[in-house]
């Protein structure tokens, strides 16, 4: 078995994330990690909060907190929400960690030693009142295109136009509100990506053929447009400091590295955090995953499409330019947008459903299933309350939940609290076993290829196959004239339920844990210990033997009512155009 390194794009520290963030990186990465663990691979799933940059400082200022305290609180809040969603991180770190500071500075030194970092003079806006240079986002003013009065110096949130600070009308400092601004000369470090173009092109040529079209096309578009040298430092108080042993003058001025330079390096930093957090007596070697990693390590990144250029071009250029044996990504799974009624979710404008609010409404499995069933893989997909309710009710309540509850409750009434004996499998059971094997083979193939919607379709079809078998055999009628036949039907259906509870775990882990716990399979038995059931094992449908005790669980998935949907629509908005900027 291979060692599987998995990372999902780092959620920014500024606020609780919306469902689009969950669908576009963290949740599919978790589904992948859970599946690979079930298959016996050694998995390391790493994520972290991205804590540096202008928005963190501005949010801390708005909250009236020191930025370090603001980030510490926000990290714990995000961590709590992700635990609520059942995300199985091996470590959820922080880009402000000492480990990330040290690795970022060391990679910057390596790039400098190899001639890929250069100090340059630039012209930048200076606030006389604040006594500091202002990064683009610290400058606000009126958008020249739409008239929005809170446009930032890099982009107008209202009309989404990309801006330069000098484009703004009536510009002012976002810190003090002062309009006493000047353009002055300062110095910053630049990563010479132009000099790394050849190395990056060769690296992408070796890998992009196996990436999804979305990821490879974005990476190649950046290459075709030509890699530009990029500033990798900023004038901020919060960030990874420029090391004084290499750039003493810039360090004395308080320069820090640009957030998009240090944030991807936090994948490595968080792995070192994981190693340092090992319990007493356990030794974890983070370098075996990242530095001189052997051929058994396969690295997969999950991200939304806006992050693709940084992960497939800028971060690889950083690692390649270091001329050190850092592990680089093998597979990139990129996603399009999950929209809210056709428009963008927005963290800053509180537009759409946010993950903390989602968990207040329904358990995590409801959201996990919907988001993966409508994962924006080949195109954007839209969240609407009407669609959400229909999917939850049809798939979870009427198909999976209904199969579990009607089989176990009926069998308990008629045959007691153990899996019934009696009856010899016949043609109907053979056909069901063949269908289960066929669907599982497709399910495995889809998950191996990171095709989540295709995997969902196969899983849904497996649940439906169990219901179709039950409807055809009708044990509630069999039991009147052929009790042994009814016992066979129910025992077979319970094996389908057990099979579904095992293989559905990556998508709806809480429900699957509840179902598996219903069966008192003997210690050491295959039904209790089996982490995965493959197509050949599934074909026999006999892992759960007669005589196994069971209990009837509460309703797995309560239906979403029209009244609930109406209330949620009123609370969060809904209908044509409500999600549009």
Q: How many angstroms separate the CA atoms of 581 and 575, rounded? A: 14
How do beta strands 519-520 and 297-304 pair?
Answer: unpaired
Instruction: Say whether 159 counts as a known binding-site residue.
Output: yes
Cβ atoms of 539 and 306 within 8 Å: the answer is no
Q: How many angstroms separate the CA atoms of 22 and 44, rounded? A: 19
Instruction: Say whether 47 counts as a known binding-site residue.
Output: no
Cβ atoms of 55 and 65 within 8 Å: the answer is no
At residue 6, the 3 state secondary structure works out as: strand
Instruction: Say whether 143 counts as a known binding-site residue.
Output: yes
Give, in order, the Cα–Cα distances in Å from 392 to each of 21, 338, 370, 572: 20, 17, 7, 18
Q: How many angstroms separate the CA atoms of 46 and 28, rounded? A: 13
Cβ atoms of 85 and 34 within 8 Å: the answer is no
Residue entry with tokens 């298959």:
39
Q: How many angstroms separate the CA atoms of 262 and 62, rounded? A: 24
Residue entry with tokens 């055809």:
472
Q: How many angstroms separate the CA atoms of 387 and 519, rounded? A: 34
Q: How many angstroms separate the CA atoms of 387 and 391, rounded? A: 6
Q: What is the DSSP string of 196-255?
A: GHHHHHHHHHHHGGGS-HHHHHHHHHHHHH----EE-EE--SSSPBPPTTT-HHHHHTT-
Instruction: Say whether 71 counts as a known binding-site residue.
Output: no
Cβ atoms of 191 and 318 within 8 Å: the answer is yes
Burial of residue 160 (CB within 10 Å: 0-12, 13-18, 19+) is exposed
Q: How many angstroms separate the CA atoms of 470 and 482, rounded? A: 15
Give, in order, the Cα–Cα distances in Å from 5 to each of 26, 206, 333, 450: 14, 19, 13, 15
Euclidean distance between the first and final Cα of the chain, in Å?
47
Binding-site annotation: residue ranges for ATP: 347
Binding-site annotation: residue ranges for Zn(2+): 143, 146, 156, 159
Binding-site annotation: residue ranges: 143, 146, 156, 159, 347
């Amino acid at each position: 078995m291979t060692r599987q390194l998995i990372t999902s794009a780092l959620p920014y520290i500024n606020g609780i994330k919306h469902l689009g963030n969950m669908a576009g990186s963290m949740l599919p990465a978790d589904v992948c990690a859970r599946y690979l663990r079930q298959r016996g691979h050694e998995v390391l799933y790493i994520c972290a909060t991205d804590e540096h940059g202008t928005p963190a400082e501005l949010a801390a200022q708005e909250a009236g907190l020191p930025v370090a305290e603001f980030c510490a609180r926000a990290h714990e809040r995000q961590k709590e929400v992700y635990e609520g969603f059942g995300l199985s991180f091996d470590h959820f770190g922080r880009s402000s960690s000492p480990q990330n500071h040290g690795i970022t500075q060391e990679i910057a030194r390596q790039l400098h030693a190899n001639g890929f970092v250069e100090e340059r003079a630039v012209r930048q806006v200076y606030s006389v009142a604040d006594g500091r240079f202002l990064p683009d986002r610290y400058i606000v003013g009126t958008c020249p295109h739409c008239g929005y009065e809170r446009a930032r110096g890099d982009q107008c949130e209202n009309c989404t136009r990309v801006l330069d600070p000098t484009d703004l009308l009536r510009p002012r400092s976002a810190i003090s509100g002062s309009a006493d601004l000047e353009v002055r000369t300062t110095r910053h470090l630049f990563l010479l990506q132009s000099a790394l173009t050849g190395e990056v092109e060769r690296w992408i040529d070796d890998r992009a053929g196996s990436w999804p079209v979305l990821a490879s096309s974005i990476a190649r578009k950046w290459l075709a447009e030509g890699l530009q040298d990029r500033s990798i430092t900023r004038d901020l108080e919060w960030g990874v400091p420029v090391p004084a042993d290499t750039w003493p003058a810039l360090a004395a001025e308080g320069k820090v590295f640009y957030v998009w330079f240090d944030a991807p390096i936090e994948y490595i930093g968080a792995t070192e955090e994981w190693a340092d957090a090992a319990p007493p007596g356990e030794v974890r070697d983070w370098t075996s995953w990242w530095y001189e990693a052997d051929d058994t390590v396969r690295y997969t990144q999950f991200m939304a499409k806006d992050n693709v250029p940084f992960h497939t071009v800028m971060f690889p250029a950083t690692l390649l330019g270091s001329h050190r044996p850092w592990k680089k990504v093998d597979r990139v799974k990129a996603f399009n947008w999950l929209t809210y009624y056709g428009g963008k979710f927005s963290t800053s404008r509180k537009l759409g459903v946010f993950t903390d609010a989602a968990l207040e409404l329904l358990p995590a499995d409801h959201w996990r299933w919907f988001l993966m069933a409508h994962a924006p893989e080949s195109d954007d997909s839209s969240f609407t309350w009407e669609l959400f309710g229909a999917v939850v009710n049809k798939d979870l309540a009427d198909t999976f939940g209904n199969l579990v509850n009607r089989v176990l409750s009926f069998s308990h009434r008629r045959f007691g609290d153990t899996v019934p004996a009696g009856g010899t499998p016949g043609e109907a059971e053979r056909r069901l076993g063949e269908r289960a094997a066929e669907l599982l083979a497709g399910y495995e193939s889809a998950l191996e290829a990171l095709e989540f919607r295709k995997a969902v379709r196969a899983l849904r079809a497996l649940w439906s196959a169990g219901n179709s078998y039950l409807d055809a055999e009708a044990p509630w009628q069999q039991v009147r004239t052929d009790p042994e036949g009814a016992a066979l039907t129910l025992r077979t259906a319970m094996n389908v339920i057990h099979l579904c509870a095992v293989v559905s775990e990556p998508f709806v882990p809480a429900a699957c844990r509840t179902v598996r716990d219903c069966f008192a399979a003997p210690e050491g038995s295959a039904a209790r210990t089996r982490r995965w059931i493959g197509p050949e094992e599934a074909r026999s449908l006999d892992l759960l033997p007669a005589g196994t005790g069971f209990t009837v669980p509460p309703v797995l998935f309560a239906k979403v009512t029209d009244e609930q949907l109406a209330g949620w629509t009123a609370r969060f908005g809904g209908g044509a155009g409500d999600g549009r900027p």
